[in-house]
Amino acid sequence: MHSRTVLSIGCIGCGNMGGAILAGFAERASHTLYGYDLDRERMRPLIAKGVRAVADMISLVRGATMVIIALKPHLVEQVLREIKPHLKSETLLLSVAAGVSLDSLKQAVDGACPVVRVMPNTPALVGAGMYALCLDDPALKMEQKKTVMELFGSIGTAVELPDEKFNAFTAVFGAGPAYVFYMMQSLTQAAVTLGFTKTEAARLVNVLFAGSAKLAQGTEADHAALQDMVCSPGGVTICGINYMDRRGMRGCIVDAVLAAYMRGLDLEKIV
């Protein structure tokens, strides 16, 4: 399997995440794409992008060389049990289900084919997602690892991570968009307090975040140096930063992520 080869990719569950991934592949590459979802309406926008709707998941598994499971975590084990007899050793199985470890996936397919655990985040919906990929299954060939990294790299940012780092990745970057939107909402609220309309404030806050991210991505300077650039001695910004420091904002953000991390560990025991 090679990235320049046309792949045959099937996705079981074409909701938010499965739909975003298939839509990304449809826009950026010429692979043959299949989708299966219990909710037929979910398939409509994907069919318009060239994804073929499959009537049942067994046909999808038989036809695809790469099968992506994008179902709610509690459904994964049951579905894997159903498709297992139809998996071929050359099939590559990927799961984006949060909290379902590589070991659970491997156990469920019982060596029928290699498995890859993937953790995306919601900017995937606009082709700007992050994908943590666990390529620890010894059954994976080098070429398959390369193909998967390139494939997800073509629709966002792909990072290879060992399974034991997935909870940390989820707590920071999987949950991350919610933290960012929380900060965006708070700044919008502050702008409204100072007399901007909510629409105007929200639009400008979007520009602020996009611009700041672009600035950070385009420089070697770290975040602290970029913050210092705005904090002139005796100026306005340093007073705002001092207030946040006095209130322990940084510690609060670190603790929020740790709380999410602990919850992730608990959920992993349940799934």
Ligand X SMILES: NC(=O)c1ccc[n+]([C@@H]2O[C@H](COP(=O)([O-])OP(=O)(O)OC[C@H]3O[C@@H](n4cnc5c(N)ncnc54)[C@H](OP(=O)(O)O)[C@@H]3O)[C@@H](O)[C@H]2O)c1
Judged by CB under 6 A, which of 3, 8, 16, 59 binds ligand X? 16
Interaxial angle between packed helices 198-217 and 176-193, expressed in degrees from 0 to 180 and rounded to the nearest 10:
130
Judged by CB under 6 A, which of 35, 73, 114, 156 binds ligand X? 73
Query: Nearest 5 degrees, angle CA 252-CA 253-CA 256?
Result: 85
Q: Applying CB under 6 A, which part among 12-20, 109-117, 155-163, 196-204 lies near ligand X?
A: 12-20
Q: Applying CB under 6 A, which part among 16-24, 59-67, 217-225, 259-267 lies near ligand X?
A: 16-24
What's the rounded Cα separation, in Å, for the pair 260 and 161?
A: 19
Q: How far is the CB of 96 from ligand X (least distance, A)?
A: 4
Question: Tokens representing 208?
Answer: 């602020």
Judged by CB under 6 A, which of 9, 10, 11, 18 binds ligand X? 18
Judged by CB under 6 A, which of 7, 9, 12, 33 binds ligand X? 12
Q: How far is the CB of 18 from ligand X (least distance, A)?
A: 6
Q: How far is the CB of 58 from ligand X (least distance, A)?
A: 11
What's the rounded Cα separation, in Å, for the pair 267 and 271?
A: 6
120 to 159: interface string for ligand X, x by CB under 6 A? xxx-------------------------------------
Give the DSSP H/E element, type plus range, for residue 126: none
Shorter beta-carbon distance to ligand X: residue 60 or 191: 60
C-alpha 179, offset from chain centre: 15
What's the rounded Cα separation, in Å, for the pair 7 and 65?
A: 7
Shorter beta-carbon distance to ligand X: residue 42 or 106: 42
3-class SS of residue 68: strand
Judged by CB under 6 A, which of 10, 24, 156, 174 binds ligand X? 174
What's the rounded Cα separation, in Å, for the pair 109 and 84?
A: 6
Residue whose token pair is 């799934």: 271
Shorter beta-carbon distance to ligand X: residue 38 or 225: 38
- Regarding 105 and contact with ligand X (CB under 6 A), the answer is no
Contact, 142 vs 150, CB < 8 A?
Answer: no
Judged by CB under 6 A, which of 9, 67, 70, 135 binds ligand X? 70
Beta-carbon contacts of 186 under 8 Å, excluding residues fewer than 6 positions away, are none
Q: What is the DSSP letter of 99?
A: T
Interface with ligand X (CB under 6 A):
12-13, 15-18, 36-39, 42, 57, 70-73, 75, 79, 96-98, 119-122, 174
